[in-house]
Chains A and B, each alone.
Chain A
Amino acid sequence: MATVYIPTSLRRLTQGSARLASDAADVGALLGWLDEAFPGLGAELFDADGNLHRFVNVYVNNRAIDELQGFETILEREDEVAVIPAISGGQTNGASPASGRFTPQQAVRYSRHIILPEIGGVGQRKLLNAKVVLIGAGGLGSPAALYLAAAGVGTLGVVDFDDVDLSNLHRQIIHGHANVGRPKVESARDRLADINPDTTVVPHTEALTSENAMQILDQYDIVVNGSDNFATRYLVNDAAYLLNKPLVDGAIFRFDGQATVFMPGQGCYRCIFPSPPPPGAVPSCAEAGVLGVLPGMIGVIQATETIKLILGLGHPLVGRWLLYDSLEMEFREIKLQRDPECPLCGDNPTIRALIDYEVFCGAPMAATGG
């Protein structure tokens, strides 16, 4: 016969009883019994889908059921169960992002997410547990990183070897004037820390190369591509595919943007462009210019798709290539498909490991992001 401790705030629903006895076999059965025996109590404990509210913690002998077997935690005689609504003063201090419950501050910070039935506490937890790597802290990486951190993505890797330049600031909005000359990765880390202390920024202050790409990307769940040259784009494409990671791709040029999501096995960058342009055929942003606000649009689409992938929400931008023309203010969609002849993800692949991308493209990996 286990005992349930009822906190002050809920005793109005248990006729004032602080302790109740139950012969339930496990925690789930005990909570079910509370729900049936005390009208109104269920609504305090569960949401419409029958999940525990994010702000309710359940303990057995002072251990959170998340650390035990959850609802299947077996109850023995003498066990004491406590049902503690966190916001009214439960044991919330010290809850880490990885544990099952939100701190009071998190419950407020993410409240507009949590009240969305499509996200809820469960979805917000997924965001906090997610690990995303941004290739480049430039035009695309800036808005993507800002929104991913604000959304509560728990780990953001940032790969960029470059320093902040004054000419970056008209579009690379993660960096400020005071950071000109500093490494972009450090500038980004400071800005992201201010936006959301829940986000851990992992700095990779180095160029992405065939030597380090597999090891870096392997630490993350999703790759967001904001690189600024063809060699790095093929490298990121190949590494993400070989590691079986989703690649949220974006690219910009002057007034136009492109975005898509490559899911391994459903087509890749090489399926669209089997080979890169010869060096000099397509000028860089530095040579041709770029509308400063353009990467905002594409980078935020990349952040949106990343969040959707983490949450398993909606229809991802897979098999679809979204083209944005800022001058016409027009979005168009092109169908993408896996090319059976693709040397990477086709039926008879010839690329099974990373290659030398500077040789492949005939051009150096000038910079990583923007």
Chain B
Amino acid sequence: MTVRIRIPAPLRSVTDGQAELTAHSDNVGQLLGELEARFPQIGPRLRDEDGALRRFVNLYVNGEDVRFLRGLDTDLKAGDEVSIIPAVAGG
């Protein structure tokens, strides 16, 4: 499935500056694997040592938090938009 991934500004340093990527994945877990294969530095930014999603970086599929869907097992279909949104604290 061809899906789009929105990369937030703080992570663009590890995606060669790209704000949007495309990938071909059937679910969110696969998508992360694909991203990590292409951009090895992104892995530790998204997952902890046990491979679980970090609690201060959220993933959304079409605007819905994957924690409220099926987490890393959340299915993706063609045209879906996946957003990575980190916590930021500046004021």
Contact = CB atoms under 8 A, between A and B. Distances in A.
B53 to A, nearest CB: 11
Contacts of A258: 85, 88
B89 A230 contact: yes
Contacts of B91: 135-136, 138-141, 225-228, 250-252, 295, 369-370
A335 interface: yes
Given A256-B9, A277-B87, A282 B63 contact: no
Contact of A233 (B60, B67, B83, B89): B89
B10 A227 contact: no
B8 to A, nearest CB: 6
A22 interface: no
Q: Which of B60, B86, B90 has the most CB of A within 10 A?
A: B90
A273 B9 contact: no
A77 B4 CA distance: 78
Given A290-B90, A327-B19, A335 B9 contact: no
Contacts of B70: none
A36 interface: no
B56 A276 contact: yes
B81 to A, nearest CB: 9
Interface string B25-65: 00000000000000000000000000000111010100111
Contacts of A290: 90
A254 interface: yes
Contacts, number: 99
A250 B88 CA distance: 10
B86 A282 contact: yes
A323 interface: yes
Contacts of B58: 272-273
Interface residues of A, number: 48
Given A272-B58, A275-B55, A333 B88 contact: no
Given A273-B56, A334-B83, A335-B64, A251 B89 contact: yes
Contacts of B85: 258, 321, 323, 334
A370 to B, nearest CB: 5
Nearest to A229: B89
A281 B56 contact: yes
A285 interface: yes
Contacts of A277: 54, 56, 86-87
A332 B20 CA distance: 14
Contacts of B67: 339
A285 B63 CA distance: 27
A333 B81 CA distance: 12
Contacts of A339: 67-68
Given A227-B91, A328-B19, 20 more contacts: A139-B90, A228-B89, A233-B89, A251-B88, A251-B89, A251-B91, A253-B89, A256-B10, A273-B56, A275-B55, A276-B56, A277-B86, A282-B10, A282-B86, A285-B90, A323-B83, A323-B85, A334-B85, A369-B91, A370-B90
Interface of B: 6, 8-10, 19, 54-56, 58, 60, 63-65, 67-68, 83, 85-91
20 contacts: A227-B91, A228-B89, A250-B91, A251-B90, A253-B10, A256-B8, A273-B58, A275-B55, A277-B56, A282-B10, A282-B89, A290-B90, A325-B9, A325-B19, A332-B83, A333-B63, A334-B60, A334-B65, A334-B83, A337-B65
